[in-house]
Amino acid sequence: MERLIYCTCMALSRLPWWFLYGFSSFLAWVVYTLKCYRYKVVMENLGLAFPEKSESERRKIARKFYRHLADSIVESLKLLTVSDKSLRRKVEFVGWEQLEKLKREHQSVVLYLGHYGNWELVPTIVWAIPEGFVNAQIYKPMHNSLGSSVLERVRNRFGSLNLPQHSAFRALLKLHHEGKISITGFIADQRPNGKFQNWTRWFNLPTAYMAGGEEIGRRINAAYYYVDVEPLGRGRMRMTLKPVIPAEDEPKYPMTVGYLRMLEATIRRNPAPWLWTHKRWSGQLEQGANFV
């Protein structure tokens, strides 16, 4: 059965863009109208993040979010077979020439991103990275073997080194000790697992955060950069490389909190493409109030 579904995904990915986007529009309309996928979570998150907006304004963001989410699904499906030539027309890179200086200085890079835009398109940044870096991305292995096999094909097509979350620290230290420089992507806006030990205010809310990227960066003497993603239209986006502005009022993890503030500015600029279905603040607010 898994093989059949995988082959079906491959066949669907060969359909033209116009057909896939037509299906995406229909899917988004159904999900939003019937409120059948975490609609309550989306509206609760939007209410927490944007209390100054009216209910009507938040519903408008939610409607755009579901369209973006449906587009991301079909775009990820299309990545199974789309040509690099076609894909290059959909992504634009700004500021990536900064990496040449880091390469000359033999310095590794921690690259912060968020669940913003279609993050499955983010591995195309390998086209903007100078030769000499080991390109790596950290991921959380899926329990679903079918979903894992499809995403594995998508993530492997650009030649990045895929590091499971549980072994990434050791792998990057090994590269560092071998004298290699790496550029590693960290999608670091999700809710941490286990006990929440690090807190800040994000969207003016007590928010727990993970600091693994900064911990690793310290050990390998890395520079910290943020990828500011900006959707340019359906299926197109610009990725601008920016140095992380450290949060001077956060002595423990200034780079991580600085990244979160830069991501917040990105989301406020255009809220719809962020992953609002994630239970980001669920069960945290009362606990976090004791820390921040």
pLDDT in tens, the chain (292 residues): 667 777 788 888 889 989 999 999 999 999 999 998 999 999 999 999 999 999 999 999 999 999 999 999 998 888 888 888 888 888 999 999 999 999 999 999 999 999 998 877 777 888 899 899 999 887 776 655 555 556 666 666 666 777 877 788 899 999 999 999 999 988 889 888 766 678 999 999 999 998 989 999 999 999 999 999 999 988 889 999 999 999 999 989 999 999 999 999 999 999 999 999 998 887 666 665 565 5
The answer to whether 212 and 186 have CB atoms below 8 angstroms apart is yes
- How far apart CA 164 and CA 235 sit, in angstroms, is 28
- pTM of the predicted model, to two decimals? 0.90
3-class SS at 37? coil
Strand-pair category, 199-202 with 161-164: unpaired
SS3 state at 194: coil
Pairwise CA distance, residues 257 & 214, whole Å: 10
Rounded to whole angstroms, the Cα distance separating 235 from 92 reads 12
What is the Cα gyration radius of the chain?
Answer: 19
Q: Which residue has the tokens 């988004």?
A: 28
Please tell me the distance from the alpha carbon of residue 140 to that of residue 138, in angstroms, as a whole number: 7
What lies within 8 Å, CB to CB, of 286 at 6+ separation is none
